[in-house]
Homo-oligomer: A and B are copies of this chain.
Amino acid sequence: MLAAERREHLLDLLARTGKIVAKDVAADLGISEDSVRRDLRDLAAEGLCQRVYGGALPVSPAVVDYGARQAVGPDGKRKVASVAAAMVRPGSSVILDGGTTALAVARALPKELACTVITHSPTIATALIDHPRAEIFVLGGRVFKHSAVTCGAAAVEAAQNVSADLCLLGVTGVHPEAGLTTADADEAAMKRALSARAADTYVLASSEKIGTASPYRVLPWEDVTGLITDADPRDMVIDQLRALGVEILAAQ
C-alpha cells in the first residue's frame, strides 16, 4: 500500500465513521501505529483532521456531531437508510431532506443507480459529489447551522421550482395525534414545502423517535404516504399509524 493511498484511506474513514482510532487502523492495514500517527500528524498540519489522544477527529464539530449522533443508533439508522435507498427507482428524482438519517440514505445509494437528488443540505450534496451517476440539485438559501440545511423564505421559494417522484423526510417526532413534528418552525415550513413538491412522501424515523412529539408540526398524516422505521411492526403506536392509512415499511 502506497503512503498516499493510506492517507486517502484515513480521510475516507474519517468522513464515513467520524473518527479514527490509531490502533485499530494500524491493525487493519497491517502497519505500525507509528506510521498511522505520522500520517495523522501530517493531515492535522494540513488542517484535514483534528488530532486527539488515541487517534483523530474531523475538523468540523458539525461533522463530529454527525459522527456522535450516528454513534447513538447506527444500526437503526443504517437499516432505515438502506430500505429508503432501495425505494429510489432508476431514472427517478428524489427530494432528500437533511439530517443524519438522510445522509445515511445518500451514502447508501448504489453506485450504479442513475437518479436526480434534490436536497437542501450542503452536507448531503458534498457527500453525493462522489456518486458516479447521481444528478445533484441544491436548494439555495440561508444555512441553519444547528441542522446544517438551508431554510427560510429563499429556500422555500427555491423549492417551488422543483418537483420529484419521491420525498424522503427526516423528523424529530412521530406521533399518532401530533403528526410529524420538528424542533424549529422554519425547518418545519421547509419540510412542508419539500413534501408538497413530490408525488409521494415517506418519513424516515428510527425507533427512538416513534411516539414522541416536538413543538412544530410538519405534516398531518393525510399528507404522508408511508413511514420507514426500524421499530417493531407490532408496536402499538405503529398500529395506530397503520390504522390512519400510513404505509409501514419495517427495516429488518
Contacts and interface: CB of A to CB of B under 8 A. Distances in A.
Interface of A: 2-5, 7-8, 11-12, 15, 19, 21, 46-48, 50, 52-55, 57, 59-64, 67, 70, 74, 107, 122-123, 125-130, 135-143, 145, 148, 150, 154-155, 158, 161
A60 B127 contact: yes
Contacts of A54: 2-4
The count of identical subunits is 2
A149 B50 CA distance: 26
16 contacts: A2-B57, A3-B53, A4-B52, A7-B67, A8-B64, A11-B67, A60-B129, A60-B130, A122-B138, A126-B148, A130-B145, A136-B143, A138-B141, A138-B143, A139-B140, A140-B158
Contacts of A8: 57, 63-64, 67
A142 B148 contact: no
A135 B19 CA distance: 27
Contacts of A57: 2, 4-5, 8
Nearest to A147: B129
